[in-house]
Copies of this chain bind each other. A is one copy, B any other.
Amino acid sequence: MSDGNKSAQAQRLAERAAQALCANDTTSRHLGIRLVEIRPGYARMAMLVRADMVNGHHICHGGMVFTLADTAFAYSCNSYNDNTVAATASIDFLAPAHEGDELTAVATELWRTRRNGIYEITVTNQRDERIALFRGRSYRIDGQLVSVE
Instruction: Show the binding face of A for B, using Cβ within 8 Å.
Output: 20-30, 51-59, 61-64, 66-68, 70-71, 74, 78, 83, 85-94, 96, 110-111, 116, 118, 130, 133, 135, 137, 145
Contact = CB atoms under 8 A, between A and B. Distances in A.
Nearest to A96: B85
Nearest to A21: B56
Contacts of A70: 61-63, 66
A23 B63 contact: no
Given A53-B26, A56-B25, A111-B130, A91 B89 contact: yes
B110 A64 contact: no
A71 B56 CA distance: 10
Contacts of A116: 87
Contacts of A30: 52
Q: 3 closest A-B pairs (Cβ-Cβ)?
A: A63-B67, A21-B56, A90-B90
Contacts of A118: 92, 94, 133
21 contacts: A21-B57, A27-B55, A27-B63, A27-B64, A28-B55, A55-B74, A56-B78, A57-B85, A61-B67, A62-B70, A62-B89, A63-B66, A63-B67, A87-B137, A88-B92, A88-B93, A89-B91, A89-B93, A111-B130, A111-B133, A135-B135
